Amino acid sequence: MEHGSQIEGPGTTATGPLSGAGNLPSGAIEAAVLRGEQSNTSIIVRSETGNAMVKVFRQLAEGLNPEVELGAALAKAGATDVATALGWIDAEWSLRGGERASGQLAVVHEFLEGGTDAWSFALEAAVEGRSIAQDARALGAATARVHEALADTLGIAVLDDQTGPPFVDRLASRLRSAWDEVRDSIGVDDAALENLLDSLGGAVDGLPVQRIHGDLHLGQVLRFPEGERPFAILDFEGEPLRPVAERSHPDVVLRDVVGMLRSFDYAAGAARRTDPAARVSEGWADEAGRAYWEGYASVAGGEDPFGTPLFAALWLDKALYEVAYEERNRPAWAEIPIRAARSALTAWLPESAAGAAGESIAGGAAQAGPGTAHGAAFSLPGEETDVSPHGEHGTNAAGAAEQEAVGRRDAADDGAVRGAALAAASVADGGASLPSHVAAGAGEKAPIPVDGDVIAKLAAGAYHAPHAVLGAHLDGEGTVTFRTVKHLAQGVTVLTPEGRVPLRHEAHGVWVGTVPESDTGHVPDYRLEVEYGEGHFVTLDDPYRYMPSIGELDLHLIGEGRHEELWKALGARVERHHSMLGNVEGTAFTVWAPNAQAVQVKGDFNGWDGREHSMRSLGSSGIWEIFIPGVVAGMCYKFGILTKHGHWVERADPMAFGTEVPPQTASRVVESRYAFKDDAWMAERAATDPLDAPMSVYEVHLGSWRPGLGYRELAEQLVEYVTWMGFTHVEFMPVAEHPFGGSWGYQVTSYYAPSSRFGHPDDFRYLVDQLHQAGIGVIVDWVPAHFPKDEWALAKFDGEALYEHADPMQGEHPDWGTLIFNFGRTEVRNFLVANALYWLEEFHVDALRVDAVASMLYLDYSRAEGQWRPNQFGGRENLEAISFLQEANATAYKRNPGIAMIAEESTAFPGVTKPTSVNGLGFGLKWNMGWMHDSLQYVEEDPVNRRWHHNKMTFSIVYAFSENFLLPISHDEVVHGKGSMLRKMPGDRWQQLANLRAFYAFQWAHPGKQLVFMGCEFGQESEWNQEYGLDWWLADLEPHRGLQSLIRELNTVYRATPALYEKDFDPAGYEWIRGDDDSHNTISFIRWSADGEPLVCIANFAGNPHIDYTVGLPRAGRWRELLNTDAKEYGGSGVTNSGYVMAEEGEWDGKAATAVLTLPPLGVVYLVPDSGDTTGA
C-alpha cells in the first residue's frame, strides 16, 4: 500500500492515504482474523518491517469516521499513549438515487505486542479485593495526555451563551431519548430526570469543548506493566450505536472521565456477579475512580467534578446507554447499569434532594450493602456465568487477551433436563409477555405459494434449502408468511408482539399462515405455540428464523483448506441470542457433507426424528448448517444424511467435542467452562526449546494404569506419582474417542472428543492443567494415518468416499483393516491439521506423538507388487501424505512455540526432523526404533554371549545425530507375546532386575530423549493387557522397589545434569572412551554439556564385576560416583567405588587422564568431576 494508491470498482473508488507515522507491513506478510465478538472485523498483519492491526468497518457510514480523524490527529501530534494510526482507506460510492457518498472502509493501526487488556486486570483485582489505585492514577494521566494531544491538533472551543444552550439541548435530547427506551427498567420518577436537566442550564458556561475519545472504558485500554508507557488507549470510533455525525461533535473531556469511572463500577459489579467468593469491597470502584481523577488532574488540572450537575448528567447518559445495550444483548447483566442510573437519579427526586448526599462517585444515594448495589451477585433467567468480551465494558481492544470463562463445570452435564425446559418454556426468559389476542389482519392474505413437491420434501426433512421456505418471509406487498413443519400437531399458532397468528395445515405436517408487516421491510420476532392434543401446548422457538451461524470468511478458509481453527466453525457450538421476546440459548450445528442431498439433525431433543430440523446447504462449500434453539450442553445428536443415491444414513459428528460412553455412538453437545491456571507453564514453554531441555517420558494407558479412575482422579493420583518419580513428561496413548477398547485408542472415530470413558472434556483439561502446575509436560498420541470402517462414523460419511481415499490401493490399510485418509483433499487435510492444533491449543497439550508415520510415507507400505500405484514421478513415496505432514508440523510450530511434534517412524526416510524449509518433514523428534530393537536384542542375550553382539549396543551412535531421536521403550515392546521387560532379561530374578537397572541407566545416558511404558519402572512381571491393571503389589517388594528407586534417581540426576540433555543432537555432545571392549562387555563414553562439563558413563553388561578396570577420563583429579546401579538401595550387590574415583595424569583410551575403578556386575556407573576436589589436579 502506497500513499494515495487507488482502486476502482463498479460505482466505487477507494484510496489509501497514510498518516506518515510508523511503518506499514510490507514484503511477505502473515494475516490472522480475530474471531472475538466486536463491532468491526479486526485482522492482525505481521511482517519483518512491522506489525499492524487492520480494522474493517462492517457498516458503511457517510462522513469522516471519528477513528480515522482522531487517529490522524494523534499521529500528527506524536501521541505515545495510543496505538499509532498508520493509514486508512477512503471510499466514494453511489447511492440508490444516483447520489455520491463518501466515507472510510478501514483503518490501520500499529499492532501492540505484549499488552493485556485493562478490563481483565481490573476484574481480577476486584475479585481479589486488590486496590488498583496506582494503575488508575497512571491511566488518568495517560487520558489527559491524549486529550491534550487532540486539543493541540484539532483545537478547542469555549461554551458561551450562544453555544452552551445547544450543547445542553443535545445532552438533554440524548438523555430523554435513552430514558424513553429504558425508563420502565430504571423505575425512578420522571421528575428526577427533569430536575437534573433543569440544573444544567447555567452549569456549562465557560466550559472548554474539544474532540474526545467518546467511548472510553477499560475494554478500550491495553496495559503494559513493564513498558515505557503503562497504558495504550485504543478504538477512537466512539459509541458504535450513535450516528457518525453525532460522534464527531466536540464534547467536554469529562465525558471520557465519566466513561472510565463507569467502567470501574462495572468491574466491581461483574466481580460480584461472576464469583461468589469475590472480596471486592464496597469502596473499591470509588477509590479507583478518585485515583483516576487525581492522575488526570495532575496533567490537565481542573477542579473536582464529583457531585456537579454535569457530572451526574454524563454519568446518567452513560448508564442509560449501557442499560439499552445490555437489554439488547445480555439482559441478565442490565442490573449493573440500572443500579448506577438509579444512584445518579435518586439525588434529584424532589422529596429526597435534601438527604441525597452519599459516598458514591455518582453523587446519588449512598451505596447499598453487600449483594444489592453495583451489580450484586444474584441470578436472572438466562444469566451468563462468564465475563465475556461482548459486554459494553468487556474486552474490545485489538490484541488484548480473550477472557476465559469463570467457574468450573459440574461433574456431569444437566443439559438434557435444562434443554427440555428451554425448548418447552411457555415464555422465553427475559422477554415480553406473549400475547393472548389475535393479530390484526392475521390470515387475511394468501401465503407465498410453494410447489407441492417442495412441501413434501420439507415434510420429510429432505429439502436442501429449508430456510428459504420455512420460517417468516416477507413478500413484496407487505405480507409476512409463516411456515413450519410440525408433525402430529393438532394446531399451530405464531406468537408475535402484535398478537397471535393461527396457522392452517397445508400438507404433510407443514403449517402456514400470514400477517401484515408491522415494521416496514422486516419480519417480526416470534415464537410457535404447538398443540398436540388433550390441551397439551408447547411453546417453541423456530430454528428457521436465524441467519447462518458460519460466515463467508469461514467458508472461504474451509474451501482453501486453511481454516486453522476449524473447530470454531464446524461441529456443535452452544450460542446465546437475545430478541424482543426473550433470551435464546441453543446450538449451532455445522457439518461438511458435499455429496449429500439433504442433512438433518436428530437427537434426544427431537425423539431422534430429524424431519423438523433439516439443515440448509451453503452451496458449493459442501457445508450444511442450522441453529436449533433449546439444544444445550449435554444433549446427544447425530446427523441424518440423504445420500445422492437416495438412501438415508446416520452419522456421528466428525467435529463433535464429546460423545456418549462407548459402545453408544452418539455425539454430545459440549460447552467448555474450564479456565486454565497454567499461565506460568505456558509462558515458560513458549520460551523454551524442548530439544535443549530434559525430556524423560512416562507412557500411560489411561484405562489400565489404575483401572476405574477418571480424568479427575488421575489428576490427583497420576500427578502425585509422576511427580514423585521425577519424570518430566507424561505421554498418553490416544485420548480421542474410539469405540473398541482393544485398539488402545489407535482406531479413532471422534478426533475432536476426549474419550468419555473417563469424564467430560473439561475434566481432561483439568488433568492437563494439574500436570502443568506440577511441572510435568503432556504428550498425546495422535493418529492421522488411518481410521476404522465403522459405518456410523467417518467411513463413507455422506454416502461416498469423503474422508478416505476412494482408490482402495490408497484408501485401505491391508494390515489393520482400516481406512486411510485422502491426504490430497484440501478439506480432509484441513480437518487433520486443525485437529492437531485443537489438542495443542484447546487442551494445552505440549507435544503430539504422531502414530504410524511410516505407513503414511510409502504407497507400498505392507503391499505386494501390483497392490500399489507409483506416484507421478514413478516413486513409492506418498507425496500427498508427505505434504500433509509438512503442513501439520509447520503450522503447529508456527502457532505454538515450544511444543514438539514427535514421529513414530521406523524406516530410514531422510529428513524426518529436518525443517520443512529444507524439504524435511518438520518433526521435532523421531522415535529411535533402530536403537530400541538392537538394544533389546542385546540385553535379551545371556551375558556369556553378549560379546558376539556387542555392535548392537554401539551401532546406534553411527546415526545418532542424523535425526533428533527419542529412545522409546513403549507399550509395543510388552504386548503380543513379547513378554514384559523383566521377562526379556536372562538369568534369575536378581540378574533380571540387575539387567534392567543397567539397561535403563544406559538408556538415560545415551544421546536422545527417553521414554518408558508404565510398569517398566518397577519391573512389571506380566505382559501388559489393557483389560487389567498393573501389578502394583510388586512395587512393595524389596527388589522391585529398588528398581523403582533407581528410576527415581535416574530422573533426579538427569534433570540436574545438563550434559545428559543439552546437546542430545549435537555430535560435540558425545565422545567415545571405548566402544570396542567386547571381551569385557563394557561400553564407556562421555556426555558434554553446553558449558563443557562432562559426565562419564561406564556400562558393564557382563555377569561378573571387573576389578581394577582401567579407563581413560578427560581430565585428572577426583571424580564423584554420581550413580551406581549396583548400590544396595537399588537392590544391587553393593559393588561400588565408595563414592569417588581418582584420575591421574597420563593418557589412556586417547584421553588425558587414567583412572582405575571397580565395575559392578550388570551395572552402570556415572562419574562427574568432583566440584569439591581440592587436590589441584
Q: Cβ distance 1004 to 1010 under 8 Å? A: yes
Cβ contacts of 760 within 8 Å, gap of 6 or more: 409, 411, 412, 413, 658, 670, 711
- Name the catalytic one among 117, 135, 612, 904: 904
Q: Cβ distance 797 to 596 under 8 Å? A: no
- Beta strand ranges found along 442-508 (DSSP E): 471-474, 479-485, 491-496, 499-507
Q: Give burial (CB, 10 Å; 0-12/13-18/19+) of 176.
A: middle
Place of cell 428451554: 422
Q: Cis link prior to 734 (omega < 30° from 0)? A: no
**Measured between alpha carbons, how far is 185 from 933 in angstroms, rounded to an integer?**
75
604 among known catalytic residues: no
Comparing CA positions, the residue from 1097, 1001, 1064 lying closest to residue 694 is 1064
DSSP-assigned states of every residue in 288-303:
HHHHHHHHHHHHH---
Q: Give burial (CB, 10 Å; 0-12/13-18/19+) of 638.
A: buried
CA distances 466 to 458, 471, 615, 623, 1076, Å, are: 7, 9, 7, 14, 77
**Measured between alpha carbons, how far is 339 from 589 in angstroms, rounded to an integer?**
38
CA distances 546 to 58, 232, 467, Å, are: 19, 38, 9
- Name the catalytic one among 851, 1062, 1077, 1170: 851
List beta partners, residue 104.
Answer: 90
**Measured between alpha carbons, how far is 863 from 739 in angstroms, rounded to an integer?**
27
Long-range contacts of the stretch 354-360 (C-beta < 8 A, 24+) = 359/283, 359/286, 360/286
Q: Cβ distance 319 to 312 under 8 Å? A: no
Torsion angle of alpha carbons 1138, 1139, 1144, 1150, nearest 10°? 110
- How many residues would you count in the chain? 1177
- In terms of phi and psi (left: phi > 0; alpha: psi -120 to 50; beta: otherwise), the region of 622 is left
CB atoms within 10 A of CB 650: 16
Q: Cβ distance 455 to 514 under 8 Å? A: no
The set of cell numbers assigned to 629 is: 434453539
Place of cell 582401567: 1110
3 state SS for 331-365: HHHCHHHHHHHHHHHHCCCHHHCCCCCCCCCCCCC
The set of cell numbers assigned to 312 is: 451526574
List beta partners, residue 926.
Answer: 903, 965
Pairing of β 847-850 and β 777-782: parallel
**Measured between alpha carbons, how far is 803 from 819 in angstroms, rounded to an integer?**
9
Please tell me the number of Cα atoms within 13 Å of 591 on its side-chain side: 31
Q: Cβ distance 840 to 770 under 8 Å? A: no
3 state SS for 116-180: EEHHHHHHHHHHHCCCCHHHHHHHHHHHHHHHHHHHHHHCEEECCCCCHHHHHHHHHHHHHHHHH
904 among known catalytic residues: yes
List beta partners, residue 237.
Answer: none
Cβ contacts of 1093 within 8 Å, gap of 6 or more: 1058, 1059, 1168, 1169
Provide the annotated active-site residues: 851, 904
